[in-house]
Structure 1
């Protein structure tokens, strides 16, 4: 079983446009743009990325995001544009490990990907032995900004269908993640779970704590639209495997009556939640942020994700809210802030005799509260139009699914609109950064200096 492919010589024939220096610069520029940050409000102390200057050995972050996506192949070319998008997904969503299905990776293509992205991402793969370039394949895209790569190991369970990733998480704790791409046919699907159950039972060491991927089957009829159950024998065999591993469906456990779907069949309008994440009972209490989001590039599946907290780390609160930096250059908000500040100053000057109800401390607290409300209100108005459209459509979808008999075609139309907007938003960011790099990439400036500075160990 291969681990990380060794780098090979750069050649335009191998990569096509992907090896162009501008493309490499764009990837670095996107990294730089992410590190500097833009105008999104954050919780101080929770979102920043600090670089340590002491030890050069990387350590996996305490809270990590684990996700899964059926990518429907890697597109044409030795590397393919889709892998550029995968790298951006890891970066933008701060995903530590992204389990992938339908990777369609050959050895040569895997080497090319790992050479191109060696500074930010490595890919481990289990390919289909009969047709690696055109069918099946499972893999893991690992964000090297977050995960320590020294002790990473991949174990093949079913070639092209199931593999386990092991990596050091915290201290001596090793996290084991099982990625599956189950067959479509009901009979083959049931047999697949039996094979995995038997192989895991015969393996030495601990069982995986996370099971995720494309199951091509649902356990509950409400996970399909229109609602209907799957073949009982296949569902029972999957249930036995999950029961033996001591796992449960995290999203369903946190949304017992909720309805959301990860796969849209455009031709029929049918949807299902065949992409899921199961975690062990031990990890369930540390798992949060169960989400389904669009990847930002064409695929009929959505990303399913959750975050895991370091079980040894001290409890960390949510931090304090900080308004987006973009408000500091917004004329309307600056005028509002100045007006409120002058009113505060006048109020403090006229306090007179101090009392428990009227004193500078209370006035200043009221000022901060009012300023926060004004900042939140203005920030919502400044939210890009595309973000408002996506939020509105998602609210409409949720409202439809809460009904007794939602129209699958209406839901599918709205879901397709959301996907198109997500793709547009994703590409808009790449174009904006590419334009900035074209303007400043060859100019001696702060941007150029940061872009070409050596990467410090984290």
Structure 2
């Protein structure tokens, strides 16, 4: 969450008991807040859905929680930007067809009344695909089950963001390692208004061992000011590079000699002085750091790609 700056993470098949959530809060409570819905019969053995909110990015002071289907569907509403709020529905649909079909029907009925807020986002493991192309080998989902899913997305006016923004890209979220079978079971549905303010739809493998890949999207609130990338900062990890440190020390020694030589009225000018020498030293270190990172980053990406080669989909 911290590395990718994820504000809200929807988790499925969590197997989290209430005491496990308390343990998480006792260890990481300053950074994350978890809202969990365990399986009512076997919390640590099966099912379970949860939201993890990054407290560094999300205001968790007034979160409302609705458990629609215990261990299967949880709805939260939280503050977003200024006076706006965002509502998200996390689902973990059953794997077998009859239960999957009944799940969507039950979920749809939950929104028939006026008490529940309509979600801006519905995301999770649907255990169902809408298009044959979302499976490899290509395969259509049972029509009756698909009708139930599409019925609730129409009712809530939600759209498959990845499908609409990446129509020509072939990606899968559930690659079965023991076979060539793959499918895009994990999806994010958003309202039309949110779709227009979303970007960077991504399906990526994570460093955490899991059989599903991470689906993510960046969304902006209406009226939110544009925030740029900010100033470049040197990653602290580069300080472990001894060769980099040696070169910085060498640059520093050269800069110190030059600065001391310019520390008199006779040698100091507007174009040559200790302040300018210091600035040039800092610029040189900055450029050196960037050059070093350019050589390290491709190697790291290659290592990650090699490690995730068994789960990288091909279209």
TM exceeds 0.5? Answer: yes
- The residue number in structure 1 matching 2:225 is 314
- The residue number in structure 2 matching 1:207 is 118
Query: What is the rounded CA distance, in whole Å, between the counterparts of 2:246 and 2:310 in structure 1?
Result: 31
SS at match of 1:299: coil
* Cα deviation 1:52-111 (Å, max 9, x = unaligned): xxxxxxxxxxxxxxxxxxxxxxxxxxxxxxxxxxxxxx2222111111111112222222
How far residue 323 of structure 1 moved from its aligned partner, in angstroms, is 7.5
**2:129 is the counterpart of 1:218:** yes
Of 379, 382, 387 in structure 1, the residue corresponding to residue 293 of structure 2 is 379
**2:106 is the counterpart of 1:195:** yes
How far residue 324 of structure 1 moved from its aligned partner, in angstroms, is 6.4
* Gap regions ≥5 residues in structure 2: 252-285
How far residue 195 of structure 1 moved from its aligned partner, in angstroms, is 0.8
**How many residues of Structure 1 are paired with residues of Structure 2 in the alignment?**
282
**2:182 is the counterpart of 1:271:** yes
Q: After TM superposition, list the pairs within 5 Å mapping 1:16-415 onto structure 2.
A: 90-317=1-228, 326=238, 330=244, 379-383=293-297, 385-391=299-305, 401-402=314-315
Query: What is the rounded CA distance, in whole Å, between the counterparts of 1:298 and 1:167 in structure 2?
Result: 29
Cα distance change of structure 1 residues 324 and 132 upon mapping to structure 2, 3 Å threshold: closer
How far residue 202 of structure 1 moved from its aligned partner, in angstroms, is 1.6
How far residue 133 of structure 1 moved from its aligned partner, in angstroms, is 1.6
How far residue 389 of structure 1 moved from its aligned partner, in angstroms, is 3.1
SS at match of 1:183: coil
Task: Return the structure number with greater relative CO, CA threshold 8 A, min gap 6.
Answer: 1
- The residue number in structure 2 matching 1:43 is none
- The residue number in structure 2 matching 1:438 is none
* Cα deviation 1:294-349 (Å, max 9, x = unaligned): 23122101111111112221234556777868599748997xx9xxxxxxxxxxxx
Query: What is the rounded CA distance, in whole Å, between the counterparts of 1:107 and 1:225 in structure 2?
Result: 38
Query: What is the rounded CA distance, in whole Å, between the counterparts of 1:391 and 1:106 in structure 2?
Result: 34
Q: Over aligned residues, Cα RMSD in angstroms?
A: 3.2
Cα distance change of structure 1 residues 143 and 396 upon mapping to structure 2, 3 Å threshold: closer
Cα distance change of structure 1 residues 216 and 396 upon mapping to structure 2, 3 Å threshold: closer
Give the structure-2-normalised TM-score: 0.78
Q: Which has the higher helix share?
A: 1
Query: What is the rounded CA distance, in whole Å, between the counterparts of 2:162 and 2:311 in structure 1?
Result: 18
How far residue 142 of structure 1 moved from its aligned partner, in angstroms, is 1.3
Whether the 8 Å CA contact 2:34–2:50 is kept in 1: the answer is yes
Query: What is the rounded CA distance, in whole Å, between the counterparts of 2:18 and 2:288 in structure 1?
Result: 55
Cα distance change of structure 1 residues 397 and 161 upon mapping to structure 2, 3 Å threshold: closer
Query: What is the rounded CA distance, in whole Å, between the counterparts of 1:222 and 1:373 in structure 2?
Result: 46
Query: What is the rounded CA distance, in whole Å, between the counterparts of 1:175 and 1:392 in structure 2?
Result: 38
* Cα deviation 1:146-187 (Å, max 9, x = unaligned): 111110121100111001011111122121100000011112
Whether the 8 Å CA contact 1:226–1:270 is kept in 2: the answer is yes
How far residue 128 of structure 1 moved from its aligned partner, in angstroms, is 1.1
How far residue 393 of structure 1 moved from its aligned partner, in angstroms, is 7.8
Query: What is the rounded CA distance, in whole Å, between the counterparts of 2:183 and 2:135 in structure 1?
Result: 4
Query: What is the rounded CA distance, in whole Å, between the counterparts of 1:214 and 1:395 in structure 2?
Result: 22
* Gap regions ≥5 residues in structure 1: 1-89, 338-371, 403-458
Query: What is the rounded CA distance, in whole Å, between the counterparts of 1:312 and 1:251 in structure 2?
Result: 24
How far residue 191 of structure 1 moved from its aligned partner, in angstroms, is 1.4
Query: What is the rounded CA distance, in whole Å, between the counterparts of 2:72 and 2:175 in structure 1?
Result: 22
SS at match of 1:306: strand
Query: What is the rounded CA distance, in whole Å, between the counterparts of 2:101 and 2:185 in structure 1?
Result: 15
Whether the 8 Å CA contact 1:324–1:379 is kept in 2: the answer is no
Query: What is the rounded CA distance, in whole Å, between the counterparts of 1:112 and 1:324 in structure 2?
Result: 31
How far residue 194 of structure 1 moved from its aligned partner, in angstroms, is 1.0
How far residue 242 of structure 1 moved from its aligned partner, in angstroms, is 0.7
SS at match of 1:313: coil
Query: What is the rounded CA distance, in whole Å, between the counterparts of 1:289 and 1:118 in structure 2?
Result: 29
SS at match of 1:201: coil
